[in-house]
Structure 1
Amino acid sequence: MGQLRKFCAKAAKTAAVAAVSAGLWTLNAQAEDVLRVAMTMSDIPTTNGQPNGGAEGHRFAGITIFDSLIAWDLTSVDRPSPLVGGLAESWSTNPDDRRVWTFNLRKGVKFHDGSDWNAQAAIWNFDKILKKDAPQYDERQAGQSYGVLNGVESYRAVDDHTLEVVTKSPDALFPYGLTVIFFASPAHWDAVGADWDAFSADPSGTGPWKVKDVVARERLELLPNPDYWDAARRPKLDRLVLLPIPDASARTAALLSGQVDWIEAPAPDSVERIAESGFTVTKGPYPHVWPWMLNTTEESPLHDVRVRQALNLGVDRAGIVELVGGLGYPAVGAVGPESPWFGNPEFDIRYDPDAARALMAEAGYSTENPAELDVIISASGSGQMLPLPMNEYIQQTLSEVGFKVNFEVLEWNALRARRNAGAKADENKGVDGINSSWVTTDPFFGFILMLDSGFAAPNGINFGHVNDPVIDELSEQIGVTFDPAEQDKLMAKLHARFVDQAYWLFVVHDANPRAMAANVKGFVSAQSWLQDLATVSLD
């Protein structure tokens, strides 16, 4: 475990530097309403319009600065977040040709530089991701689009405020994918020299916050957009400062010492102390799973379903939940039994070392002749909870049922790049799994993108190259089923197959914890990976 300790020490050093930077804002925070937020990331998310860093990047540099055509309603704690209009007031698909989508764009919206949002701007942004010969095409942004536009055949402006998009085949899930496509100002890109690096240093979107300053590995400073089109989301703060502090203990110390006002993912062993010190701790359900995504190719021992099931039977989830201070829930699939998508899997995910050893014996392994697995993990990251101690605990319990697990520890964005490359990529040769938290918000993002063989990396994020005709057939049916109730039934069948074949190691669901100063008001802990800081104020 020397590599783990070395990486952890490096992360702690980075966190300490960030915490010192956070201290620079103490006096400013007293002079005006400044909210200082400590992120789990080790760097600032990219600000070019397609943020990196996963959901945390979208949370802090996506929906703050930019808007998408379709967004998530983040106004309720009592229900999963539904889709709502963003830069598109409404959308529809032609009942006679389900490939054709019409988006009625919101009128009167301005980019931060004062230029107009319209259908031409929408097309320009589609081109930056899809059209490789366009001057504004950016491979980095295309890589952060998760392939959600790969099914688009064509797009055109019907008029200034009507956009038509034609997909290659009927796609009932297309609106979900559009929640991760953000829109940057074409006029501002031209004004800064038609250069995405220059744009990133001084970005222009349509979102509720404008960028004041970007300092790599130190801070992202945002100011309110007083002219934001949605009056309910016009910020109530004078300033928002986002600070990368990847170490949970360093984040907690920064909160307790008054260097920051808000922290993502507090250290579990400090939650009681945080609450007793007068801070607010929020938590609740959201569509999250903390898995190992498994290499199912013939090159890995995990090609054998018996080994994958033994892996799931060899993990003490109750122990993991205790390790994270109760800030999680045991996972018996990608979603819980309360979900309409859970279905009726035959494989019962539980901690059963004897059953795990029996399956390993059938597959030719034992504690004396273990299956050796090389797994990529991170030290921190969006939704990653406490990956180092959690994975160390899993490593120990799996050693007792016939596995020898080795870890390669990477920075979060480096891990995401390896995940997106897939198990067959040269850089992942010999890798059997990757610990990457995942979102289960919708059928496409949560499941099809990860399981359908057509989305095997790098065409999607099917890291393990799952190639299952049953999954593929269900994915196809779901994609052309526009009735939500019927779609739920198909999703239940797909999830049951996912569990029965144990294509992932399902460990826990995060409790979405964060902590903040008592004077932070107006926060709604939505059942989403995204959270809206525009509603927050300071007393």
Structure 2
Amino acid sequence: MKKLILALILLAMPAMAQQPRVLRIAMTAADVPTTTGMPNNGFEGMRFLGYPIFEGLVLWDLSRSDQPATLRPGLAESFAQDPNDPKIWIFRLRPGVTFHDGTPFNADAVIWNFDRYFLNTSPQFEPAASGISRARVTILESYRKIDDMTIAMTTVRPASYFPYMVVYLLMTSPQSFEQAGRDWARVALLPPAGTGPFRLSRVVPRQSAELTRHDGYWDRTRIARLDRILLLPMPEANTRMAALRSGQVDWIEVPPPDGIPSLRQAGFTISTGSYPHVWPWFFQMEGDTPFRDVRVRQALNYCVDRTGMVGLLNGTAEPSVGWLKPGDPAFGTPDNRYSFDPARGRALLAAAGFNAQRPLTFRVLISPSGSGQMLPLPMNEFLQQNLREACGVQVNFEVAEWNTLLTAVRSPPGAPILNGAVSINPSSPSSDHSVAVRYFMRAAFPPTGFNWGQWVDPAFETAMGQLESARDPAAATAAFALAHARLVDNPPWLYIVHDLNPRAMSRRVRGFTPAQSWFQDLVPVEVQ
């Protein structure tokens, strides 16, 4: 009998070894992010339907958890400013790279993709991808091919942080577009070809997307360990948790905070960690809005009970009193050190003309879920009650789907999509200087950036100019500290919390290193 059992085990071993290693991930998105090579759904779209499949000339280094993510060469093996003109960046492309469809990656493919994003008259122009890309790459003036493996990009002014913008320009095979009859809607379902460690193998609209390991990946040291990844949109936190508990998925983004202790007790892995992120309300300062008065914006920052919000989130966030965290070397020395101080908040509101007889009242556009949004409905309900009880402020909400909210962020003041909202609640990265340029510079008013509130501060502009011309890291940090102090003292946003990037996983998931980034490396991940 023992020999028979052993024989059956040995016969079963090859079949067991051949079982595909599949990782099933529940996203916070309400829908599958777009799959043409420039995903929507914010940075969660880039995290799962962007970088694993489509790559840029520059990539994030997501290999470490002990420091904020930096950049590394990607489809360009090197890049540098032209010594004769610092507005020109030279990118030398990596030889021997092919797209998933076998076609070569070269300078022509790069220019084709740039025309897709930046040249409205090109046959491959894709309006949705263009809107996303132009809002992230705000200082590109022109680009050109130097030779088959070299391109040049020219910026409107010298900027040492420009590679931190280029990292968001992803490459799709031009052949994908031709094969789909030059129809981006058909490209999305073919599926399209990128150059990444995974290829998009199947898309079921509004249900799922499947990634498959690309064994021909150009970086032979980074062949993925998983066979497949199945991505499932699940916008409701308790639904995600139930799917994890029942074994329907192996990994969930943003577990419900009150469920984290029970998940830990049941043996699930909880991953949290600091990363460059802030969860705010943006203030609109153009048109008929109370936020034209800096005292109102400062007042609200004193009225928020951030400690109470962290308690609501079961410790998966930390208070935000600026765009950066107080321990950051570039936080600066602002005059205002925001804390929960309702008396000071009420005094500032009174000085601006708002009191019990004439309360400050406004509408905020929020979403029920989305990338980096954590638990937006209970969080915003907490703020609504907090502001009413602490400072007599009356807040109303306009609730919109996440992608609708992202479209609104790229819309002008008073646009119909806002439905009267003069504040908006998208989460934001705070990873590098280029993000500050996109969110706060005068030149970044939508649709050319994310300065939705049309905030303008001359001292901030001057400090950022000093930053752009800085020749060493110390000078850059000193300049940015001056700029950040203005973001605190003349706040364009209501700073609320920085979240701690929580996710929960089955104990079968191994090899995950939580990077201090919005993005994560799926290549070393295994399912046992």
What TM-score range do you get, normalising by the shorter chain?
over 0.9
Deviation of the 1:227 alpha carbon: 0.9
Paired position in structure 1 for 2:473: 484
Cα RMSD for the two superposed structures: 1.6
- What do the CA deviations read for 1:7-58 (whole angstroms, capped 9, x no partner)? xxxxxxxxxxxxxxxxxxxxx9994211000000000111111111111000
- What do the CA deviations read for 1:490-515 (whole angstroms, capped 9, x no partner)? 11111110000121100000011101
After superposition, the Cα gap between the structure-2 partners of 1:29 and 1:411, relative to the gap in structure 1 and judged at 3 Å, is farther
Q: Secondary structure at the match of 2:202?
A: strand
Deviation of the 1:481 alpha carbon: 2.8
- What do the CA deviations read for 1:222-251 (whole angstroms, capped 9, x no partner)? 100001112333211111000000001100
Q: Does residue 233 in structure 1 map to residue 222 in structure 2?
A: yes
Paired position in structure 1 for 2:188: 200
In the comparison of the two structures, how many residue pairs are matched?
Answer: 511
Paired position in structure 2 for 1:171: 159
Paired with 1:533 and 1:49, the residues of 2 have a C-alpha distance of 18
Paired with 1:503 and 1:346, the residues of 2 have a C-alpha distance of 16
The answer to whether the 8 Å contact 1:53/1:413 transfers is yes
Code of the aligned partner of 2:184: W
Q: Secondary structure at the match of 2:309?
A: helix
Paired position in structure 2 for 1:310: 299
Deviation of the 1:298 alpha carbon: 4.5
Deviation of the 1:450 alpha carbon: 1.1
Paired with 2:340 and 2:257, the residues of 1 have a C-alpha distance of 23
Q: Does residue 423 in structure 1 map to residue 413 in structure 2?
A: yes
Worse-superposed segment, 455-464 or 469-478: 469-478
Structure 1's unaligned 5+ residue stretches are: 1-27
Paired position in structure 2 for 1:350: 339
The answer to whether the 8 Å contact 2:439/2:450 transfers is yes
Q: Please give the residue correspondences for 1:258-407 in structure 2 after superposition, counting only pairs within 5 Å.
A: 258-400=247-389, 401-407=391-397
Paired with 1:311 and 1:168, the residues of 2 have a C-alpha distance of 36
Larger radius of gyration: 2
Paired with 2:379 and 2:144, the residues of 1 have a C-alpha distance of 49
Code of the aligned partner of 2:207: E
Deviation of the 1:154 alpha carbon: 2.7
Worse-superposed segment, 95-104 or 217-226: 95-104
Q: Does residue 518 in structure 1 map to residue 526 in structure 2?
A: no
Q: Secondary structure at the match of 1:193?
A: coil
Paired position in structure 1 for 2:3: none
Paired position in structure 2 for 1:162: 150
Code of the aligned partner of 1:68: G
Q: Secondary structure at the match of 1:156?
A: strand
The answer to whether the 8 Å contact 1:422/1:428 transfers is no
Deviation of the 1:144 alpha carbon: 1.3
Q: Please give the residue correspondences for 1:10-29 in structure 2 after superposition, counting only pairs within 5 Å.
A: none
Paired with 1:429 and 1:453, the residues of 2 have a C-alpha distance of 24
Deviation of the 1:151 alpha carbon: 2.8
Q: Does residue 257 in structure 1 map to residue 278 in structure 2?
A: no
The answer to whether the 8 Å contact 1:255/1:516 transfers is yes
Paired position in structure 2 for 1:506: 495
Q: Which residue, 86, 105, 128 being the options, matches 2:74?
A: 86
Worse-superposed segment, 147-156 or 240-249: 147-156
- What do the CA deviations read for 1:392-450 (whole angstroms, capped 9, x no partner)? 111111112131100001111111110111434343363221011000011111x1211
Code of the aligned partner of 1:500: D
Structure 2's unaligned 5+ residue stretches are: 1-15
Q: Which residue, 429, 434, 440 being the options, matches 2:424?
A: 434
- What do the CA deviations read for 1:284-327 (whole angstroms, capped 9, x no partner)? 00000000011122511111111111111111101100001110
Paired with 1:436 and 1:153, the residues of 2 have a C-alpha distance of 28
- What do the CA deviations read for 1:176-208 (whole angstroms, capped 9, x no partner)? 101111000012211221111111111111011
After superposition, the Cα gap between the structure-2 partners of 1:431 and 1:504, relative to the gap in structure 1 and judged at 3 Å, is same
Counting aligned pairs with the same residue, the percent is 45
The answer to whether the 8 Å contact 1:59/1:531 transfers is yes
Worse-superposed segment, 151-160 or 274-283: 151-160
- What do the CA deviations read for 1:371-412 (whole angstroms, capped 9, x no partner)? 111000111111101111111111111112131100001111
Q: Secondary structure at the match of 2:43?
A: helix
Paired position in structure 1 for 2:4: none
Paired position in structure 1 for 2:7: none
After superposition, the Cα gap between the structure-2 partners of 1:477 and 1:428, relative to the gap in structure 1 and judged at 3 Å, is farther
Paired with 1:367 and 1:535, the residues of 2 have a C-alpha distance of 57
Relative to the length of structure 1, the TM-score reads 0.92
